[in-house]
Amino acid sequence: MDPRAILIMDLKCPGSGMADHNLWANVPKLKPMDEVKFVIKDREDYDWAAAKVREYALTDSHTVLFSPVFGEQDPRALAEWVLADRLPVRCQLQLHKYIWDPAMRGV
């Protein structure tokens, strides 16, 4: 990988059914400019992701992104949880789901 590249590590939340596949050993390998992303399906996912952010001190050296699952998690509710907890993460939408058909792959 080109050392100038900024990597975005996607950590899977329990609601995805893929959380057991996260490679936590890769977290310490991230460069300070790399980012970590969680896609949040519900409050359980949010609480889990917030706990992982704290456990791994992810916001100490990385930008952390929280995205609501399109059509399942209300973006406003997610933003309100983040604000209420004063969690230093960024909220973002899965923009490709708004631009193209949400079922479309490869965009």
**What's the pLDDT at 16?**
96
The whole-model pTM stands at 0.92
**What's the pLDDT at 69?**
96
Contacts of 76-83 with C-beta under 8 Å, sequence gap 24+, read: 78/40, 78/46, 81/43, 81/46
**What's the pLDDT at 21?**
96
Dihedral angle, C-alpha 38, 88, 30, 51, nearest 10 °: -60
**What's the pLDDT at 12?**
97
Q: What is the mean pLDDT of each run of 10 residues along the chain (107 residues)?
A: 92 97 96 97 98 97 97 97 98 93 88
Strand-pair partners of 91: 66
End-to-end CA distance of the chain: 22
- Tell me 58's DSSP state: G
**What's the pLDDT at 78?**
98
